[in-house]
Amino acid sequence: MSPLSHTSAQPDARQAPGPDPNRWHALWVTLVAGFMILLDVTIVSVALPSMQRDLSAKPSSVQWVVSGYALTFALALVVAGRLGDAVGRRRIFLVALSAFVVCSAAVGAAPTIGLVVVARLAQGVSAGFLAPQNSALIQQLFTGSERARAFGLFSATVGISSAVGPITGGLILALATGTDGWRWIFYVNVPIGAAALLLGRRLLPKSAPGERGHLDLVGVGLLGAGVLALMLPLVEADSGGLLRMWWLFPVGALLLYGFARWERRVSARGLEPLLEPQLVRGVRGYAAGAALATVYFVGFSGIWLVFALYFQDALGYSPLESGLAVTPFAFGSAAAAVVASRLVERLGRLLTVLGLVAVAAGLTATALLLWLVPAGTAIWAVVPALLVSGIGSGFVISPNVTMTLREVPVRMAGVAGGALQTGQRLGGAIGTAVLPGLYYLAKGEHDGPSAAVALSVGAGILAVLVALVLAVTDWHADRRDGPRGTPQSSSGEAPSDG
């Protein structure tokens, strides 16, 4: 066990006298909120063609509806995690959820694509402030085997919400009437979010007094500017952003290097850094899990947009039919995520390795079938392949969250969860910018959309293979060093602070 984990296992003077009697009800509030903000990452994929027609928007503008949400989501995450640890997770959760509900209504009501994008950017910020409070509240509310069970449910929610987005979006568009039915994809968040807000005020634990800490504003600026510099060219890729803004890549790298140096300096002075360096160096498996999540979400997030474009533009499917086309993946992912919450305690990182192998095999078969089989029958031919890749994905996302966060001390829970999800959102933003761009490029230069979708999915498979290498490396490290500690022994009891 690392020195950091050992230290965090010591008794905390602020420990609660006993378990919170509302902890399981509070968990369901956080799961509903987490499901809603992650569903909004993929639910819009099937609505983009309808939105573009209704608002007479350019493809590059509509792309910002997806990538812009991921961008601001990512920028807010680590800051929000530290802020929740410092001023109270319940307070940040309720404020962020309120903002998310308001922004959802604003996106739905926006009359122009410009206002849609602005409201969507604000929605991403609110989602970014909300997300890390979920995992931090679980760390706070639960200990021992209960924490493992709660994280299993949380991890399953992460995997399922991302997988069912296209189906849910297609169903809403089918039920809504008129050319602006896409607006209900955002309006549906309002009653659900309002109910979660009311229940959260009653059930979530309050912050203990005196728990406010130092917020590293210089770190906030360096990290935010670095991430923004790296992501802007990717988000603008469809309109030539890679060529116009290539210089932002080295600028972003320098800013992130400066951020790392600054955080080490802040930590050495005994202050609270935005991202604790010991979190990367001292918590076993955290760095590997965060890197794996980042790379995997490059392929995972971008593929849904490619499928939506191919099924609707090339095959003439409706949004509902487009969503139903990937139902095998969603069902496989949902079922596997539930099973994975029990298997991860026994198999550990090996479960992630097996899942990534299944995802790579299933997507490879899908790409080949879409390329070689006639368009009219391809959708039925890929059902088994999508099912296999969906099962594999359920064994990747859920267990990786559990394995990555299980040894994180409670005092770092918010920033650790925020940093992990930052990687996921960064990967998602890269994937949603690059993979559709490859699709449009290949569609124009090769022999039609079948070759284009095969090339784009192939790029996603490459990201999955890189994630597989990271998972195998971490698995071998576990075999060499022994099994990781249980959440209770490595993280200590949950303190009463918010």
Q: What is the DSSP string of 214-270?
A: ---HHHHHHHHHHHHHHHHHHHTGGGTHHHHSTTHHHHHHHHHHHHHHHHHHHHHTT
List the one residue out of 163, 184, 181, 437 whose CA is nearest residue 318: 181
How far, rounded to the nearest angstrom, does the alpha carbon of residue 154 sit from its chain's CA centroid? 12
CATH number, domain of 459, equals 1.20.1250.20
Range in 119-133, 140-154, 171-185 the model is least confident about: 140-154
CA distances from 453 to 387, 435, 439 (A): 18, 9, 6
Q: Does 12 fall in a domain?
A: no
Claim to verify: residue 265 and residue 279 sit in the same structural domain: no
Q: For residue 118, name the pLDDT band (cuts at 50, 70, 90).
A: very high
The range of the structural domain enclosing residue 184 comes to 21-207+274-490
| Average confidence score pLDDT of the chain | 81
The pLDDT tens digits for 412-443 are 776 777 778 778 877 887 887 788 878 877 77
> Is 31 within 8 Å of 152 (Cβ atoms)?
no
Claim to verify: residue 128 and residue 157 sit in the same structural domain: yes
Residues of 232-263 as b/e, b for ≥16 C-beta within 10 angstroms?
A: bbbbbbbeebbeebeebeeebeebbebbbebb
pLDDT of 13 higher than 60: no
Q: How many CB atoms within 10 Å of residue 448?
A: 12
pLDDT of 447 higher than 90: no
Q: For residue 221, name the pLDDT band (cuts at 50, 70, 90).
A: confident
Claim to verify: residue 112 and residue 33 sit in the same structural domain: yes
Q: Does 13 fall in a domain?
A: no
pLDDT of 50 higher than 90: no
Q: Does 132 fall in a domain?
A: yes
pLDDT of 212 higher than 60: no
pLDDT of 444 higher than 80: no
Claim to verify: residue 192 and residue 334 sit in the same structural domain: yes
Claim to verify: residue 448 and residue 393 sit in the same structural domain: yes
Place of tokens 């920028």: 75
Q: Does 7 fall in a domain?
A: no
Range in 51-65, 108-122, 239-253, 476-490 the model is least confident about: 476-490
List the helix and strand counts (H, then E) for the chain.
24, 0
Q: Does 16 fall in a domain?
A: no
CA–CA distance, 31 with 133 (Å, rounded to integer): 11
Q: Does 498 fall in a domain?
A: no
pLDDT of 14 higher than 70: no
Claim to verify: residue 303 and residue 448 sit in the same structural domain: yes
Q: For residue 16, name the pLDDT band (cuts at 50, 70, 90).
A: very low
Claim to verify: residue 228 and residue 177 sit in the same structural domain: no
> Is 376 within 8 Å of 312 (Cβ atoms)?
no
pLDDT of 2 higher than 70: no
pLDDT at 146: 81
* The token pair that represents 243 in the structure block: 């060529």
pLDDT at 495: 35
pLDDT at 478: 78
Query: Could you report how far apart the first and last alpha carbons of the chain are, in Å?
Result: 27
CA–CA distance, 264 with 8 (Å, rounded to integer): 20
Q: Does 456 fall in a domain?
A: yes
CA distances from 159 to 42, 91, 429, 433 (A): 12, 26, 17, 21
CA–CA distance, 98 with 180 (Å, rounded to integer): 25
Claim to verify: residue 89 and residue 135 sit in the same structural domain: yes
CA–CA distance, 220 with 422 (Å, rounded to integer): 13
Per-residue pLDDT, averaged over 157-177, amounts to 80
pLDDT at 324: 80
Vertex 331: Cα angle to 357 and 69 (nearest 5): 85
Claim to verify: residue 367 and residue 281 sit in the same structural domain: yes
CA–CA distance, 208 with 491 (Å, rounded to integer): 19
20: left (phi over 0), alpha (psi -120 to 50) or beta: beta
Residue with the larger pLDDT of the pair 139 and 116: 116
Claim to verify: residue 335 and residue 227 sit in the same structural domain: no
Is 15 in a helix, a strand, or coil?
strand
Place of tokens 């790579």: 360
CA–CA distance, 355 with 98 (Å, rounded to integer): 36
Claim to verify: residue 316 and residue 257 sit in the same structural domain: no
Those residues whose C-beta lies under 8 Å from the C-beta of residue 182, and which sit 6 or more positions away, are: 44, 47, 50, 51, 54, 173, 176
pLDDT of 315 higher than 60: yes
Count Cβ atoms within 10 A of the Cβ of residue 271 and give its class: 0-12 exposed, 13-18 middle, 19 or more buried. Answer: exposed
Claim to verify: residue 249 and residue 341 sit in the same structural domain: no
Query: How many domains does the chain contain in total?
Result: 2
pLDDT at 342: 78
Q: Does 10 fall in a domain?
A: no
pLDDT at 484: 57
pLDDT of 489 higher than 70: no
Those residues whose C-beta lies under 8 Å from the C-beta of residue 55, and which sit 6 or more positions away, are: 112, 113, 116
pLDDT of 253 higher than 60: yes
Angle of the 165-175 helix axis to the 144-163 helix axis, nearest 10? 50
